[in-house]
Amino acid sequence: MRMTLAELARRLDAELVGNGAREVDGVCPLDQAGPSQLSFLHNPRYAAEAVASRAGALLVREVGELGEHNLLVTPHPYLAFARALAIFHPVEQPPAGVHPSAVVAWDADIAPSATIGPLVAIGSHSSVGAGSVVGAGTVIGAQVTVGADCLIHPRVVIEDGCSVGDRCILHAGTVIGSDGYGFATVEGLHHKVPQVGAVVVEDDVELGANVCVDRGTLGDTRIGRGTKVDNLVQVAHNVQVGEHCLLVAQVGISGSTTLGHHTVMAGQSGAAGHLSIGAGVQVSAKAAVFKDLPDGAFVSGVPARPHREWMEAAARVARLGGLVDRVAALERRLDEHGRRLAPEPPERS
Amino acid sequence: MRMTLAELARRLDAELVGNGAREVDGVCPLDQAGPSQLSFLHNPRYAAEAVASRAGALLVREVGELGEHNLLVTPHPYLAFARALAIFHPVEQPPAGVHPSAVVAWDADIAPSATIGPLVAIGSHSSVGAGSVVGAGTVIGAQVTVGADCLIHPRVVIEDGCSVGDRCILHAGTVIGSDGYGFATVEGLHHKVPQVGAVVVEDDVELGANVCVDRGTLGDTRIGRGTKVDNLVQVAHNVQVGEHCLLVAQVGISGSTTLGHHTVMAGQSGAAGHLSIGAGVQVSAKAAVFKDLPDGAFVSGVPARPHREWMEAAARVARLGGLVDRVAALERRLDEHGRRLAPEPPERS
Amino acid sequence: MRMTLAELARRLDAELVGNGAREVDGVCPLDQAGPSQLSFLHNPRYAAEAVASRAGALLVREVGELGEHNLLVTPHPYLAFARALAIFHPVEQPPAGVHPSAVVAWDADIAPSATIGPLVAIGSHSSVGAGSVVGAGTVIGAQVTVGADCLIHPRVVIEDGCSVGDRCILHAGTVIGSDGYGFATVEGLHHKVPQVGAVVVEDDVELGANVCVDRGTLGDTRIGRGTKVDNLVQVAHNVQVGEHCLLVAQVGISGSTTLGHHTVMAGQSGAAGHLSIGAGVQVSAKAAVFKDLPDGAFVSGVPARPHREWMEAAARVARLGGLVDRVAALERRLDEHGRRLAPEPPERS
């Protein structure tokens, strides 16, 4: 696909500065883009690369030093970049219908515009909404609701009774509605606690590959609207993840913990169970949250504490060698003073 | 389903204190239960909520302050809660038989009372015991044994030669019998060491979603009877997990390590290879075990050390700022002493 | 299978010292091997066990104390052990052909000698090379290239446009080509950045079970030739993993980070995004790399720093209690000196 900069500016709601008749046919990083490609500058750190770029046009926030280039000026160049990618790489909607190799319960309700791929299994009383695509090998249990315009990649599992909102994206290997990890231990035997709740995935959620979201014990585990979850994340039973959160790869959240909206847990971090973690919280990579956190907290470390405290403690530990030396020097000096003080009293008396 | 408290008490082996004719139809948390629901108090922390609860009846350990309520008194209220859940949410056994879309080797031995779901593949010389259910899309290799009354969720993989005991529950996406990670590195090339052992999952084991249990190099990797494993756990080749252990989400155990019975590894903790970890050991969340541990050890941190030591070290690090200040104060005082001592000798001589 | 030691020595390129007519029929650990089995000594730590072993023959580096045994002497006993396992446990190549239950696009190019298992789905314009085996339930998208002599276990997913080299092994549950985790956040909404790159898995790579390798945003994510990846590893978009690297279980590598050749990341370690990590680097278990690392670095801890520094810091923290005591002792001594100095000036005046 080729498109003039004038047309592209119109579609991206950007202001064109330069030659509107120039055509581009794709998007590339600053250092790889050629004259027929669009590139973008959203981080001022790369300003010099932008100046030097051979790109046919640049998405930028302001004209600045880049007057020599064709520019598409927009307050959000990175969002415009995402939109430009979608323009140059349109996703082909597969043909609607149920593949003959799929096994769909007779009483399942599949929208006529939905696509059910090969070797999919869908259980009784489940529904798949208009425009949704279910990839090959996915298993949807009984009484599951999948909304409209979802993209479910191959080999996802959605267990009985769970629901997925509209415009959700579920990546391959993800499991929604596995049993929560609950046992009543009596005399050394772990008796299973039935997990009779379900999982509710709200609208506009994206779950990465091989993610696990356990069903609730009594009520539902919930992933809030607009939340984006990376690969290999674990969400335990009864967890309530707020709206527009970001859970980066390999995060683990223990049972019954609540996250407010717009909270971010960085890669490989974790949270203990039964915690209340506020809105807009940032948990650093590898950190482990063991206590409730107020809105806007920024924490690091194991156990997690305010990021600044953690940084200071880390710096002090790094300087511990110096402190040890200072204490040893003090001991030597005091020994010396002692030697100078010690003999005197008898002389004076 | 509705049931009188008298009948429920009988089925839960509990002592009824109150109105045996009262009917309940479900189980709810203390704060949500209404007059037609059962709730439970197993943690004294929630005693006040129990007093205030509107529940039709409470499962409790002793009558205490709760004399106004209908009570079912039992030494193990949480276990009784689990049983009550099973009573009010009976699991429907799916009809026995092999789904026509399943691909089952002609010489596989499927019990007549077993259920083989849609799009399942079962290899040669494998067997599935009486009453076991194999979910949609699961793949069972050749010469695999699955015992009786197992529940295998969709899209599990059990590779060739592995065995699963009776009454096991395997959640979706779990892989049993992937190759162990073993290589002979010569001149920078990693040559694969064939992994010719298998995996033995003993009776009453539960494995969470997307768990990995590698096959042994020569002998078998083993998960002991009654052990419960949470989601996304990694068990490497030749590991021997004892009976009735708990491995919480995202735990990793490296090759050839042995765990005694009733050992607990909390979330995101790990153990290095070739270790002997005793019985009844507790490994804290995020800890990393690099040394053998005796029975009953309770360890935390990276590297893991006795929990108390770890707590003390953490407290000392938190107070490091104060120690630095104290050392600086000492230096100032000693400088002053020095000034007072230094000029004197010449005056005296 | 039984084989004389003479024949085995020939096949393993080893020098026979002992009775070449002796027959062996398998490989066992030193303490379990009997007279008809081969064992091996590759770690001098086990020399005493080797002397005491009842094995029919031993693979060793040198004759040393083991003159009483039949020996196969080779510079690389562990590699010879791997080869011997392959000899005694030959892998049966399944019959070539496409299982009738597989759903293969009419324009896919499947080599006549390849094996496509039951319930596999293969999309349009994809190819599978000569001698490759695709396990049951695997899903291969459109325009995917799988090379020759690959072993793809059950229930793998390879998404559209990705490529896998020759002689690769992919374990069950692994996902290649899930979308990278990229969003343009504007006014609290996370807008998806289309991920239009792919994944390139080079020759001789092994990926463990339930691994995730995300496709690139613009270019490709790459796993270098000969690299071996353990279970549950996360490789984010645009990551470039060098040749012959080892990524142990549950490692996570964030977006756009580059690893040089022969770099090792131990279990549960992680690396932040946009880093340049050199060749031959060793990252300890549980460590988190937040900065670029030069070739040959050996780092530990969170944040990762040179291993020796980390060890020293850990040792100092362990001795902090002693340091606190020393500071308290200094304070007491200085108080005493002060008492002895303080009263004097008035007496002198």
Q: Which residues pair with C3 in a beta bridge?
A: C24
Contacts of C313 in chain A (CB under 8 A): 317-318, 320-321
The reply to whether B285 touches chain A by the CB within 8 Å rule is yes
CA distance B262 to B35: 39
- Contact (CB, 8 A) for C172 and C194: no
pLDDT band at A349 (very low <50, low <70, confident <90, very high): very low
Cβ-nearest to A103 among B118, B302, B331: B118
- Contact (CB, 8 A) for B239 and B224: no
What is the DSSP secondary-structure string of C203-227?
TT-EE-TT-EEEPPSSS-EEE-TT-
Which residue in chain A has the smallest CA separation from C305?
A: A318
Look at residue A333 and tell me whether its pLDDT is greater than 90: no
Q: Which residues numbered 129-188 in C keep a CB inside 8 Å of some CB on A?
A: 137, 139, 141, 155, 157, 159, 173, 175, 178-179, 181-184, 186, 188
Tokens of A52: 């030097």
Contacts of C304 in chain A (CB under 8 A): none
Please tell me the predicted confidence (pLDDT) of residue B342.
62
- How far from chain centre, in Å, is Cα B269? 12
Burial status of residue A347 (CB atoms within 10 A of its CB: 0-12, 13-18, 19 or more) = exposed
Using the Cα atoms of residue C309, residue C315, residue C318 and residue C320 in order, give the sign of their dihedral.
negative
Please tell me the predicted confidence (pLDDT) of residue C344.
52
The reply to whether A286 touches chain C by the CB within 8 Å rule is yes
A348/B307: higher pLDDT:
B307
Cβ-nearest to A250 among B250, B317, B331: B250
Question: Mean pLDDT across the stretch A286-306?
Answer: 97
Look at residue A345 and tell me whether its pLDDT is greater than 70: no
The reply to whether A337 touches chain C by the CB within 8 Å rule is yes
**3-state SS assignment for residue C179:** coil
In the complex, which subunits touch C with 3 or more CB pairs below 8 angstroms? A, B
CA distance C242 to C263: 8
The reply to whether A61 touches chain C by the CB within 8 Å rule is no
- Contact (CB, 8 A) for A23 and A2: yes
Cβ-nearest to B208 among A101, A178, A193: A178
Compute φ and ψ for C278, nearest 5 degrees.
-75, -170
Contacts of A210 in chain B (CB under 8 A): 173, 210, 232
Please tell me the predicted confidence (pLDDT) of residue B205.
98
Active site residues of A: 237
A94/A334: higher pLDDT:
A94
* Closest C-alpha among C159, B7, B231, C316 to residue A179: B231
- Contact (CB, 8 A) for A175 and A231: no
Look at residue A156 and tell me whether its pLDDT is greater than 70: yes
In the complex, which subunits touch B with 3 or more CB pairs below 8 angstroms? A, C
Contacts of A324 in chain C (CB under 8 A): 316, 323
CA distance B199 to C347: 87
Compute φ and ψ for A152, nearest 5 degrees.
-105, 115
**CB-based contact A327 B327, cutoff 8 Å:** yes
- Contact (CB, 8 A) for A259 and A245: yes
- Residue among C125, C192, C268, C311 with most chain A CBs within 10 A, to mutate: C192
**Bond prior to C95 in cis (omega within 30° of 0):** no
Please tell me the predicted confidence (pLDDT) of residue A344.
52
How many angstroms away from the CA of C318 is the closest CA of chain A? 11
C67/A72: higher pLDDT:
A72
Cβ-nearest to C78 among B184, B268, B272: B184
**3-state SS assignment for residue C16:** strand
Active site residue C237: yes
Place of tokens 């004038």: A6
In the complex, which subunits touch A with 3 or more CB pairs below 8 angstroms? B, C
Instruction: Tell me the residue type at B69.
Output: H
Helices (H), chain B: 5-11, 47-52, 77-88, 307-318, 320-341, 344-348
Which residue in chain B has the smallest CA separation from A270?
A: B268
Over residues A177-235, the pLDDT tens digits come to: 999 999 999 999 999 999 999 999 999 999 999 999 999 999 999 999 999 999 999 99
Q: Which residues numbered 36-55 in C keep a CB inside 8 Å of some CB on B?
A: none
Please tell me the predicted confidence (pLDDT) of residue A278.
98
Please tell me the predicted confidence (pLDDT) of residue C108.
98
Contacts of C330 in chain A (CB under 8 A): 327, 330-331, 334
Low-confidence ranges of chain C (pLDDT < 70): 341-349
Low-confidence ranges of chain B (pLDDT < 50): 347-349
Among candidate residues C237, C244, C261, C262, the one labeled active-site is C237
Cβ-nearest to C312 among A79, A246, A321: A321
